[in-house]
Structure 1
Amino acid sequence: MDQTPTALFDSYESDFRHIVDSIKEKLEASGTGEQRKAALRKVEIELDEADDIVSALEIEIQGIPQSIKSQYLSRLKQAKADLTRYKKLAKDVHSQQSRAELLARTGGGVTSDDPYGEQSDRARLLSGTQTLEDGSRRLMNTQRIALEAEEQGTDILRTLRGQRETIENARNTLQTADSNIDRASGTVKRMIRQMYKQRIILSAMTVFIILLVIVILYFRIIRR
């Protein structure tokens, strides 16, 4: 599976565009009766799927690097605008369908003595089967999103665990270095004290030699 930061965003966006095209095709298609109702019911299901995908896009965009994030924000904004537009269009089509059915009923539009006959039952059965298939596909898609989110969560936890270990190792290294510096500082201080002691000893020896020379000269020259 592609592990680039934008792979899942691109995949979700592709699914979104496919669903939007399907919604557009159904809303623009002509039809009446049960066939039209079935198409509008499927549009409602697909709008819910598109809404879920937009939510997934909002999650995925958080992990996109800042250097390229602006263009993906624009694409997310466009997806939201398209979803809002088709929701409104679907609502308008529903209203038109309801008005047409109302006019048909009030104007004596029912021409069959059995509006729930064999053909109507078959249409409802086909519509129910289609709805069930759409629900199953939506459930599978939701499950896929959940599994991918779980996988991402696992990767994030693994990364955080590695960063924690790195920080702990760095802290241990700093503590070791601090201990070494303390020992080195103690050694330097001892060396400095030793140097001062040697200087004092050398100074005392120098003074002693000078005094000794003076005493010798005194006894050799003056006492003679």
Structure 2
Amino acid sequence: MSQVFEGYERQYCEISANLSKKVTSATVLDGEQKKQKVSEVAGGLEDAEALIRKMDLEARSLPPGVKATLLVKLREYKTDLNNLKSEVKRIASGNANQAARDDLLDSSMATASADQRARLLMSTEKLGKSSDRIREGRKTMLETEELGVSILQDLHQQRQSLLHAHNNLHGVDDNIGRSKKILTNMSRRMSRNKWIIGTIIALLVIAILVILYFKLTRRSST
């Protein structure tokens, strides 16, 4: 594994743990203290996001085997960072919603009727429901992104398998070609040997006939 990536990873884990503690403490605070704590967390999130980008660049510059492992870890860190961002936004929006609700109630209590106050309360409830739907939409988007990354990894692995199979088939074709050449050479040698053997046999037959001829001519002369 890259030492540079490990250094960024250690820094991110420290920042993430510190931010988680601050987010937890911010949930029990009120007023200016809560705003200050949320502001500190927002600054830390920027540092964590910068480290994520550095880890991403470092991982993509490494060999494929190492890169795939580091990108899996990097997705987990991105998910962790997104969860922290969502939690901070929830706390911040909770402050804004509460402040807006208090202002609306304070300004209307003195002059508005009971029906108007009911409508104001209904509006604040709709605002809360809208915030919940937005959070659910963000969660669905993150899950879809993770699924897309997983599919891309599967396609990459399948492509590597196909390339490996293609290389194996190419090697088999080369072996078949060499075997064909060897068989062709053997066939040529067998044909040449056949002609040589046939010629030798023909010469032997001629020699035997010549010998028989001379023997017969000698006998007839005696």
Q: TM class, shorter-chain normalised?
A: 0.3 to 0.5
Query: 1 or 2 for the larger relative contact order (CA 8 Å, sep ≥6)?
Result: 1
TM-score of the pair, normalised by structure 1 = 0.46
Larger proportion of helix:
2
**TM-score normalised by length of structure 2:** 0.46
